[in-house]
Amino acid sequence: VTGASFVVFNGALKTSSGFSAKSSIVEDGLMVQITQETMESLRQALRDKKDFKITCDKTDRGDIKEYVDICWIENEEKTNKG
């Protein structure tokens, strides 16, 4: 689990790279590089307020070691109102 001050989603990852997605720590945030198709799916999930999981690994590997999980919560009392 990684805490971050911000998250950047970059939809410029090429399918020919061999990765389904890549994540990296940038300063005190997280950058997630995803394909154009995944970006479209992510946008729709955000519009619909649906959970979304991005697997960050080589496409030819079977074992998943890293992923970014976007989860909507019911209780928003403890979130930053500003």
Tell me the pLDDT tens digit for each residue of 35-59.
999 999 999 999 999 999 998 877 6
Q: Average pLDDT, stretch 64-73?
A: 84
Confidence (pTM): 0.76
**Mind listing the pLDDT tens digit for each residue in 5-46?**
899 999 999 988 888 899 888 888 999 999 999 999 999 999
Residues 6+ apart with CB under 8 A from 22: 13, 32, 33, 56
Q: Which residues of 35-56 are buried (b: 16+ CB within 10 A; e: fewer)?
A: beebbeebeeeeeeeeebebbb
Domain ranges of the chain: 6-70
Token pair of 63 as six digits: 């074992």
CATH of domain 6-70: 3.30.1360.220
